[in-house]
């Protein structure tokens, strides 16, 4: 890794999918990786494989973010943890879907970034990487999830303005459909495969490679936004709905 000033990273949502792949690839590049997730059994297996340090923290617990994670000094923060509830639309969603999705996808990202940034700025090096979604760039039929990812898009863009001159970089990575547990949580076991039928979805390693690409650039280069789609997934278009 050319960014030899980067020695350590913290990755959230590290127990499966994209987060797990990011831990593996950053560890393979020689970084000391701090892996954060709620499922400690999954983290223990990952630690045995990669040597990462593990933290069983629920990011909805804001106190735990500041009491536990803010004490860790890292060069790279990967805000990866996220979920999608109420994906069938706001009218049929549960009340709790709004709170849980906003708290996980937006509030936790902001709090953890706030906790880590002062140290990075004082050291004058560091990298914030936000794993967002194409749902934050384009309209989709999921207003709750799309709104949270739209918030992360503007959070990333505005943060770069706020910290200009600090030498801390900010990267937003926006995947389209990735073959992970995301859809099982979002749609349930019976429908988990529906969103990725008909084409080859991205793999978690595809997104982890984008993280490594951004981190590996020389200090003068900030990869501000990466959009990653399956070859056969086209975003946009017009659907035909029959009306009376």
CA atoms of 179 and 112, how far apart (whole Å): 26
SS3 244: coil
Q: Which of 6, 66, 138, 145 is catalytic?
A: 145
What tokens appear for 143 in the block? 């207003």
Neighbours of 81 (CB within 10 A): 25
In this structure, which long-range contacts are made by residues 15-19, counting pairs with CB atoms below 8 Å and at least 24 apart in sequence?
15/39, 15/42, 15/43, 15/46, 16/42, 16/180, 16/181, 17/178, 17/180, 17/181, 17/182, 17/204, 18/80, 18/131, 18/175, 18/178, 18/180, 18/204, 18/207, 18/208, 19/78, 19/80, 19/81
- Which residues neighbour 235 within 8 Å (Cβ) at sequence distance 6 or greater? 134, 138, 176, 229
CA 137 to chain centre: 15
CB 74 within 8 A of CB 9: yes
CB 9 within 8 A of CB 76: yes
145 catalytic? Reply is yes
Q: Name the residue among 210, 116, 226, 212 with its Cα closest to residue 163.
A: 116
> Active-site residue numbers?
145
């Amino acid at each position: 890794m050319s960014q030899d000033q980067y020695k350590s990273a913290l990755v959230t949502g590290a127990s499966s999918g994209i987060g797990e792949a990011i831990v593996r690839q950053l560890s393979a590049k020689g970084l000391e990786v701090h892996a954060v997730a709620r499922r400690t059994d999954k983290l223990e297996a990952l630690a045995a494989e990669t040597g990462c340090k593990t933290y069983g923290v629920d990011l909805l617990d804001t106190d735990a973010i500041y009491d536990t994670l803010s004490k860790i000094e890292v060069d790279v923060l990967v805000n990866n943890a996220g979920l999608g509830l109420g994906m069938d639309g706001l009218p049929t969603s549960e009340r709790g879907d709004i709170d849980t999705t906003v708290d996980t996808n937006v509030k936790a990202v902001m709090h953890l970034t706030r906790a880590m940034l002062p140290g990075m700025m004082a050291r004058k090096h560091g990298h914030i990487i936000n794993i967002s979604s194409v749902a934050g760039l384009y309209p989709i039929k999921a207003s709750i999830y799309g709104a949270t990812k739209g918030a992360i898009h503007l959070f990333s863009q505005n943060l770069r303005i706020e910290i200009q001159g600090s030498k801390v970089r900010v990267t937003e990575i926006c995947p389209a459909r990735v073959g992970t547990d995301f859809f099982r949580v979002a749609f349930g076991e019976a429908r988990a495969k529906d969103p990725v039928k008909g084409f080859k979805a991205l793999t978690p390693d595809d997104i982890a490679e984008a993280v490594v690409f951004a981190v590996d650039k020389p200090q003068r280069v900030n990869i501000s936004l990466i959009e990653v789609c399956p070859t056969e997934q086209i975003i946009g278009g017009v659907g035909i709905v029959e009306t009376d």
